A and B are shown apart, each in its own frame.
Chain A
Amino acid sequence: MTTLTEAPPKASAVLGEPKKKRNLLPYILLAPGVLWLVIFFLIPIFTAVSASVQTGSLDMGFKVTWNWANYSATFSTYNTEIVHSLIYSVACTVICLVLGYPLAYFIAFRGGKWKNLLMALVIAPAFTSFLIRTIAWETILSDHGTVVRIMTDLRITNLMDHLGLITGNHVLNSPFSVVFGMVYNFLPFTVLPLYTSLEKIDPRLHEAGRDLYCSGYRTWRYVTWPLSLPGVIAGTLLTFIPAVGDYINAYMLGSPNTQVIGQVIENEALRDVFGYPIASAMGVILTFGTLAIVLAYVKKAGSEDLL
């Protein structure tokens, strides 16, 4: 898993120039995988665009009627859910970065021989069920739990209630618990690329900073931070993308007041016979919306080597 976000270190330099043979072999090797992605990833996007302007029902069949109303209906009916998805995923990405950076920094520079083991511990939970671990938070954050009792005693719940993060002394079923669950589930996605880029930084650069009378903060700000930027970009993207479409946390740790766009898509697609063109419309909006955000972000951050 550590290799996941490692950019191949200058392939041409390591391997010499790729062989200059022009034969059929590469195309034969590429064909099955590429066809799979074209047929089952690329074409469905176009099918969804066409489906999103259809009307009809499951029994009678659907026809393309250029029913753009599906789009306007999406925005007018589900604007709250769209706003929720955006706020939660941005909040989750920012918090993951704030928590993930010190952790990745600690493992990379203070981990010593335990580095790999610590990273394995960060990733290990990702190999057990996402849903079951989210259910476990239901237990930890429940009104009967110790955590909530301590938070109530310390008046933290009071403060959070005032900020509108939770209602009363109930931590669960609130925007707070939804974002909390998302941060928990997506933190490894932030830490992994951050660690990969921090680990490559020569620790002697820190010594050099200190020798030149740089304060700890300034060394970090002017040496470490710029060098870790590729990791920051990859980490925030790897967190934001799944977070914006996620609805498991909103469903399990939230309430009907914290519905997100993903939930609506699933409901429209599976539980409503007339809903699937609307679901397609929302899918199209989410696909191109996310893509636009990601491209704008990558362009602004100026990093091309994401793969």
Chain B
Amino acid sequence: MTKTFDWIKAHTLLFVSTLIFIFLIAPNAVMLLFSFNQPANKYNFIWNRFSTNAWKNPCASSDMCSSIKLSVTIAIIAMILSTVLGTMVAFAMMRYRFRGRTFLNVLLFLPMAAPEVTMGITLMTFFFNTTGSNSLGFGTIVIAHVMFSLSYVVVTVKARLAGMDPTLEKAAADLYATPIQTFRRVTLPLVMPGILAAALLSFALSIDDYIITVLTAGNEVTFPMYVYASFQHSVPAQIDVIGSTMLLITLAGITFAQVPQIIKTRKA
């Protein structure tokens, strides 16, 4: 009896963790499965029969595909802007002295500590009062996305800068490299993984955002807005095709990122 009890005790954590993993993965599996469903009615909620229709005609609804195009365009522009601005802020914070550091820390922390809907409504009010309600659209979405991803970029790049070996830059300086050469040849390559991670993060934040976007979008319809609106009248299988594609790209990315590590452990 005590033996069984000990076994249970030893494996509880494993069991619980497995259950939570199943919980986390289940909707993704369902999404992948239902992208191959031929829904019986307008809502792709109940399994009917296997079909590759949705994968063959991902753009059956042209509205959906134009919304994806819009979302990707916005995400790319917002990613570039927030990565550039955020990296500059991170460098200034880690490498220089300046006045107002406390204010800056608070300013960077607040957007991460504010619920999305409040940032959305305040920004919408701001545009209403300054440029008028007709100004809402592509530009205002990009402005909003850069605003909420900036802090995450700063935090990510700062963490990378903090973990860097400062002696490398000193060595470059000792070897008569100019500050610009040191930056381009030594600092930048070392910080690059941090900058790339930050860029990916801001892209992911932007492409998936609904709440702030809907409040600043005017008449534009991004992909999350399309999905949210479609929930009221029809959920085509194509939505799951897009979700599955995003999932597969992410998984491929993870696998790709693991490769160097696997090779390293093999060698060691």
Q: Which of B108, B121, B130, B197 contacts A282 (CB 8 A)?
A: B121
User: Which residue of A is nearest B257, CB measured?
Assistant: A120
Residues on B with C-beta less than 8 A from A32 are: 85, 88
Q: How large is the interface on A (under 10, 10 to 19, 20 to 34, 35 or more residues)?
A: 35 or more
In the complex, the answer to whether A128 meets B228 with C-beta atoms within 8 Å is: no
In the complex, the answer to whether B125 meets A241 with C-beta atoms within 8 Å is: no
User: Which residue of B is nearest A118, CB measured?
Assistant: B21
Task: Kindly provide the distance from the CB of A22 to the nearest chain B CB, expressed in whole angstroms.
Answer: 7
Residues on B with C-beta less than 8 A from A299 are: none
B50 contacts the other chain (Cβ, under 8 Å)? Answer: no
Residues on B with C-beta less than 8 A from A136 are: 26-28, 30-31, 34
Residues on A with C-beta less than 8 A from B239 are: 132, 135
Q: Which of A26, A41, A252, A307 contacts B98 (CB 8 A)?
A: A26
Q: Which of B89, B96, B224, B261 contacts A131 (CB 8 A)?
A: B224
Complex CA gap A19/B173 in Å reads 14
Main secondary structure of the interface of B (DSSP, over half): helix
A48 contacts the other chain (Cβ, under 8 Å)? Answer: yes
Render B126-151 as a binary contact track against A, CB cut-off 8 A, 1 for contact.
10111001000000000110110011
In the complex, the answer to whether B201 meets A1 with C-beta atoms within 8 Å is: yes
Give residues 38-88 of A contacting B (CB, 8 Å): 38, 40-45, 47-48, 50-51, 58, 62
In the complex, the answer to whether B14 meets A106 with C-beta atoms within 8 Å is: yes
Give residues 184-219 of B contacting A (CB, 8 Å): 194, 197, 200-201, 204, 208, 210-211, 214-215
In the complex, the answer to whether B97 meets A21 with C-beta atoms within 8 Å is: yes
In the complex, the answer to whether A36 meets B118 with C-beta atoms within 8 Å is: no
Main secondary structure of the interface of A (DSSP, over half): helix
Residues on B with C-beta less than 8 A from A279 are: 121, 125
Render A265-307 as a binary contact track against B, CB cut-off 8 A, 1 for contact.
1100110000010011011101100110010000000000011
Q: Which of A51, A129, A290 contacts B125 (CB 8 A)?
A: A51
Task: Kindly provide the distance from the CB of A219 to the nearest chain B CB, expressed in whole angstroms.
Answer: 14
B123 contacts the other chain (Cβ, under 8 Å)? Answer: yes
Residues on B with C-beta less than 8 A from A262 are: 115, 117, 211
Q: What is the size, in residues, of chain B's interface with A at 8 Å between Cβ atoms?
A: 101
Residues on B with C-beta less than 8 A from A129 are: 208, 223-224, 227, 242-243, 246
Render B12-49 as a binary contact track against A, CB cut-off 8 A, 1 for contact.
01101100110111111011001000000000011000
Render B227-258 as a binary contact track against A, CB cut-off 8 A, 1 for contact.
11001000100011011001100110010011
In the complex, the answer to whether B117 meets A128 with C-beta atoms within 8 Å is: no
Task: Kindly provide the distance from the CB of A268 to the nearest chain B CB, expressed in whole angstroms.
Answer: 9
Give residues 51-99 of B contacting A (CB, 8 Å): 85-86, 88-89, 91-98
B178 contacts the other chain (Cβ, under 8 Å)? Answer: no
Whether A139 contacts B107 in the complex (CB less than 8 A), given A132-B242, A307-B155, comes out as no
Complex CA gap A290/B86 in Å reads 25
Complex CA gap A47/B247 in Å reads 39
Whether A184 contacts B23 in the complex (CB less than 8 A), given A3-B197, A21-B96, A30-B104, comes out as yes
Task: Kindly provide the distance from the CB of B217 to the nearest chain A CB, expressed in whole angstroms.
Answer: 9
Complex CA gap A307/B157 in Å reads 12
Task: Kindly provide the distance from the CB of A218 to the nearest chain B CB, expressed in whole angstroms.
Answer: 15
In the complex, the answer to whether B91 meets A280 with C-beta atoms within 8 Å is: no
Complex CA gap A15/B242 in Å reads 45
Interface centre among A8, A19, A129 (most CB of B within 10 A): A129
B105 contacts the other chain (Cβ, under 8 Å)? Answer: yes
Q: Which of B88, B118, B125 contacts A30 (CB 8 A)?
A: B88
In the complex, the answer to whether A280 meets B121 with C-beta atoms within 8 Å is: yes
Complex CA gap A277/B208 in Å reads 28
Complex CA gap A242/B210 in Å reads 12
Residues on A with C-beta less than 8 A from B161 are: 8
Complex CA gap A95/B130 in Å reads 42
Name 7 A/B residue pairs within 8 A (Cβ), A-sorted: A21-B96, A103-B16, A128-B246, A133-B27, A135-B31, A184-B23, A294-B113
Q: Could you tell me which B residues sit within 8 Å of A by CB distance?
A: 13-14, 16-17, 20-21, 23-28, 30-31, 34, 45-46, 85-86, 88-89, 91-98, 104-105, 107-119, 121-126, 128-130, 133, 143-144, 146-147, 150-152, 154-156, 158-164, 166, 194, 197, 200-201, 204, 208, 210-211, 214-215, 223-224, 227-228, 231, 235, 239-240, 242-243, 246-247, 250-251, 254, 257-258, 261, 265
Given A38-B107, A127-B246, output 17 extra A-B contacts at Cβ < 8 Å.
A3-B156, A8-B163, A14-B164, A18-B96, A37-B107, A41-B147, A50-B129, A117-B258, A129-B224, A129-B242, A131-B208, A136-B31, A241-B113, A245-B116, A269-B121, A283-B117, A286-B117
